[in-house]
Amino acid sequence: MRLRSALPAALGAALLIATTPASASAATGQFRYDYVTEEGYEATGFLNSPPSGQCIDLPGVGEDNPQPGHSPKNRTDAQATVFTDANCEGNSFTLRPHTGGASERLKVRSVVFN
């Protein structure tokens, strides 16, 4: 008798686990960077609560703009790894959560949050 009731319970639990959607992970907080627009104006870009584990090409410093971003500041609760090139390629540098930042000497075009 116990086997007959245990088997449907186990199958039901497995089905429930398989159909439960995974929660999306995001870094909480803001990531900021400075850049010069194509028109030559100083600007600040930011990402609010960006997704984790996903490469993000920074808006404003893409292929259309020959100048990369600089002075990144990580005010999120996740570690941020910034890259010198788009698509998270090139040299990288890691910024600590909450207080990580770098000077204008660090040039950036993409970031991923861990």
pLDDT tens column, 80-97: 999 999 999 999 999 999
Residue 38 counted as domain residue: yes
At 114 the three-state DSSP class reads coil
Residue 89 counted as domain residue: yes
Q: If DSSP states are collapsed to H, E and C, what string results for 25-74?
A: CECCEEEEEEEECCCCCEEEEEEECCECCCCEECCCCCCCCCCCEEEEEE
CATH of the domain at 103: 2.60.20.10
pTM: 0.77
Length of the chain: 114
pLDDT reading at 18 higher than 70: no
Residue 81 counted as domain residue: yes
* Residue 60, amino acid: G
